[in-house]
A = this chain, B = another copy of it.
Amino acid sequence: MATPVKVYGPPLSTAVSRVLACLLEKDVDFQLISINLAKGEHKKADFIKIQPFGQVPAFQDENISLFESRAICRYICEKYKEKGNKGLYGTNPLAKASIDQWLEAEGQSFNPPSSALVFQLAFAPRMKLKQDEGLIKQSEAKLAKVLDVYEKRLGETQFLAGDEFSLADLSHLPNTQYLVNATDRGELFTSRENVGRWWGEISSRESWKKVVEMQKSGKEEQRQKLLMMESDAKDEELGGYNSNNMKKARLNSTLAALLDDPVLADVPKKPTLSDVDTLISLELGSAMRISVLKLDGTSFGTCPTPTRFKVFSLTF
């Protein structure tokens, strides 16, 4: 039996779940290796060797290490051509070119507004963060325009790249799953006849249903971890927060829920307070990220207000 390929990172990450869906479609054995972002494992030398940007996922197979979820998916399809779904990346050059085209459309046009909405609508409320209404409106308008193009296309072909389910469709699953099931904007998809039909078809594939199951187990593990952390929590100052136990617990919960998210992967190794502030403005302004930084045993969480971001220290 061949050695399973290795995937590093949590299934709740959209990029990790993209790779998992591809492996399941291709029926390729894999080993999922947990990366504890809270412990900064993604910034350690061993991990940086296979993922120089210090982000998830990373991937290993025999004599190759790879990063970038869409590149990993392409590799899996090429390497394991004869396994599982043989048409996932096309069986002839024209089909493949069409898949590449719609896979790029996902990465360049669909992903930016949809990941912004996932953060604003699904994560921000759970984190008790003020939502950026302007950004929501703008991202929704952008996504609607992209979905109008998809609606027309999906009236002509059953799937984006043609009449077969492909890597291009698969790559849309992670963000759409959050938008349809964890926000009230699912209608962006379901109100469009062809897009709605398409979402129904691609989301009910066995491969994707298994990924969603893995995400649910991941959440349960995270909850357990959180309870353990909570019981170990030390006294601390929580900046502008009242440090009563309820609020502290909620804050810890929020931050813990974030720890396994890939949006946290992009943080400096030795941040200063001013780095943190700049980083936060940047992340919220340009990509709507919330960063939790670990600095010599101390974590920094970020708590935006309408006008300014407060930075507070937090010890797990």
Contact B286 A135 (CB under 8 A): yes
A68-B108, A105-B68, A135-B286 are known contacts. Are A278 and B53 too (CB-CB below 8 A)?
no
| CB proximity to B under 8 Å, residues A113-127 | 116
Contact B101 A67 (CB under 8 A): yes
**A15: nearest residue on chain B (CB-CB)?**
B108
- The docked-state distance in angstroms from the alpha carbon of A286 to that of B281 is 13
| CB proximity to B under 8 Å, residues A125-142 | 134-135, 137-139, 141-142
Query: Residues of B contacting A93 with CB < 8 Å?
Result: 75, 78-79
**A68: nearest residue on chain B (CB-CB)?**
B104
Interface assignment of A297: CB less than 8 Å from any CB of chain B: no
Interface assignment of A70: CB less than 8 Å from any CB of chain B: yes
Query: Residues of B contacting A71 with CB < 8 Å?
Result: 97, 100-101, 103-104
User: How would residues 143 to 161 of chain A score, 1 for a CB under 8 Å from any chain B CB and 0 otherwise?
Assistant: 0011001001100000000
Interface positions of A (Cβ within 8 A of B): 52-53, 63-64, 66-68, 70-72, 74-75, 78-79, 93-94, 96-98, 100-101, 103-105, 107-109, 112, 116, 134-135, 137-139, 141-142, 145-146, 149, 152-153, 266, 268, 278, 281-282, 285-286
